[in-house]
Amino acid sequence: MRLYLVSRNPKKVEELAHLAKACGIELVPIDIPKVEIQSEILVEVALYSATVAHLSVKRPLIVEDSGLFVKSLNMFPGALSSYVYKTIGVRGVLKLMEGVEDREAFFESVIALAAPTLDGVKTFRGSVRGRIAEEPRGTGGFGFDPIFVPEGYTTTFAEMGIEEKNAVSHRGMAFRALCRWLLENCERIACEGWT
Amino acid sequence: MRLYLVSRNPKKVEELAHLAKACGIELVPIDIPKVEIQSEILVEVALYSATVAHLSVKRPLIVEDSGLFVKSLNMFPGALSSYVYKTIGVRGVLKLMEGVEDREAFFESVIALAAPTLDGVKTFRGSVRGRIAEEPRGTGGFGFDPIFVPEGYTTTFAEMGIEEKNAVSHRGMAFRALCRWLLENCERIACEGWT
């Protein structure tokens, strides 16, 4: 089965390609503009993106949106994490956390699936709890990975290999939910014919 | 001439109503969802919003989007100012500016106009340079007004009355550009018939 991925982030493509391979999916990045709305609700952002992308290319596709939600910052940067990363970055978030005791945070991922044989858009979620590190550590992953330590770990996402990160990450969890659903519903939605 | 305003922000509605009155426009707030895309480019956000709103209500309308762009923060919070205001707020931006010498910033406003007798959407810009105050001051205005001191002034936007703020603000400048354009083009676009 072939699935297109609307993304211009090579690191995200790489992580999702690993997950897709384990699910028997051929994941093909597709370079079209991704329309992202300003919403605190990740599901809304992904739903809208997938709907617009599908109207434009009419192929089976997914979009993946994720965000880092920091409890003591009123869930900032949340659904707008990539914009915040590009402007004030990891250092900005660490500065906002200076002197803050409560470092609880979570990463959330939403994958939205659209295809000609599907009614509407289907979404899949994953989330992982953790805390904001005092200093950035590691060079793997992308975005805020160097300052996120998942619950039960001492290493940041950026200190993990791609397989290890996928096993615990919000994105891995969301993709595995997509994979399970496709396996269970493939016949009904004729997913083997997706090209 | 009647013009609808897509906004759920009563303070913004109030400022624009003052400006509209001076231009002989009856400005009517309209309570429909405003779709805002994630873009660093304010013009894109306003264009998209106005297009979607106009498709839905098919009446002459404007949307106004504005943002505070701080030079030493890579133009953060920029086009996403309202989201940043709702999460980390004025205190968050002041914390990011702690110890930062260069406090240069500007406010920008874009008004997008859509109407049945117009070809496409027309946009109008206004911007005002200034600096980020050390502490919030004043209770007028909204958003980041308490920490923005326009060039040539010692008071923040929040310390000004509505007329004084409109005379110097980005929003006032954008609205006056809209007003001038409407006066010059009213006959051609039959704006007197807008209801």
Pinpoint the alpha helices (H) of chain B: 10-22, 42-57, 81-87, 89-96, 162-168, 170-189
Q: Is B107 in a helix, a strand, or coil?
A: strand
Whether A69 has a pLDDT exceeding 90, the answer reads yes
Question: Is pLDDT at A86 greater than 90 in this prediction?
Answer: yes
Q: Compare CB distances from A87 to B76, B86, B95 and report the shortest one's residue.
A: B76
Cβ atoms of A179 and A21 closer than 8 Å: no
B10: tokens are 């009563």
Q: Are B94 and B73 in contact (CB under 8 A)?
A: no
Residues of chain A with C-beta less than 8 angstroms from the C-beta of B88: 73-74, 76, 96
- Domains of chain B and any CATH numbers: 2-193 (3.90.950.10)
What average pLDDT does the structure give for chain B?
Answer: 95
Portion of chain B with pLDDT greater than 90, in percent? 86
What pLDDT band is residue B25 in, cutting at 50, 70 and 90? very high
Residue A20 vs residues A8, A23, A66, A146, A175: alpha-carbon distances, Å: 17, 5, 17, 24, 8
Residue B43 is predicted with a pLDDT of 92
**pLDDT the model gives residue B76:** 97
Res. A123: pLDDT tops 90: yes
Catalytic one of B31, B65, B102, B145? B65
A82, A83, A86, A91: CA torsion to nearest 10: -80
Angle between helices B10-22 and B170-189 (to 10 degrees): 50
Least confident of A143-157, B37-51, B136-150: B37-51
Task: Tell me the percentage of chain A whose pLDDT exceeds 90.
Answer: 86
Q: How far is B69 from chain A (nearest CA, A)?
A: 11
Q: pLDDT tens for residues A21-65?
A: 999 999 999 988 888 887 888 999 999 999 999 999 999 999 999
Give the count of beta carbons closer than 10 Å to the beta carbon of residue A40. 17
* Cα–Cα distance, B25 to B195 (Å, whole number): 11
Which amino acid belongs to residue A182? Answer: L
Which of A37, A86, A96 has its CB closest to that of B88?
A96
Mean pLDDT of A58-75: 96
- pLDDT value for A119: 83
Split at pLDDT 50, 70, 90, the class of B164 is very high
Burial of A19 per CB tally in 10 Å (0-12, 13-18, 19+): buried
* CA nearest to B74 within chain A: A87
What is the per-residue pLDDT for B40? 80
Task: Tell whether the model's pLDDT for residue A192 goes beyond 90.
Answer: no
Average pLDDT, chain A: 95
Tens-place pLDDT, residues B76-110: 999 999 999 999 999 999 999 999 999 999 999 99
Residue pair A44/A37 in contact by the 8 Å Cβ criterion: yes
- Is a pLDDT exceeding 90 seen at residue B36? no
Are residues B37 and A35, on separate chains, in Cβ contact within 8 Å?
Answer: yes
For chains A and B, CB pairs below 8 A equal 62
- The pLDDT tens digits of the residues spanning B181-191 come to 999 999 999 98
Q: Are B127 and B109 in contact (CB under 8 A)?
A: yes
pLDDT at A129: 98
Most confident listed range (A50-59, B32-41, B48-57, B126-135): B126-135
Position A93: which residue type?
Answer: V
Query: Distance from B164 to chain A by nearest Cα, in Å?
Result: 31
pLDDT of residue B37: 83
Q: What is the mean pLDDT of residues A127-140?
A: 98
In degrees and rounded to multiples of 5, residue A73 shows phi and psi of: -105, 30
- Interchain proximity B88–A73, CB inside 8 Å: yes
Instruction: Tell me whether residue A65 is one of the annotated catalytic residues.
Output: yes
User: Cβ–Cβ of B76/A96 closer than 8 Å?
Assistant: no
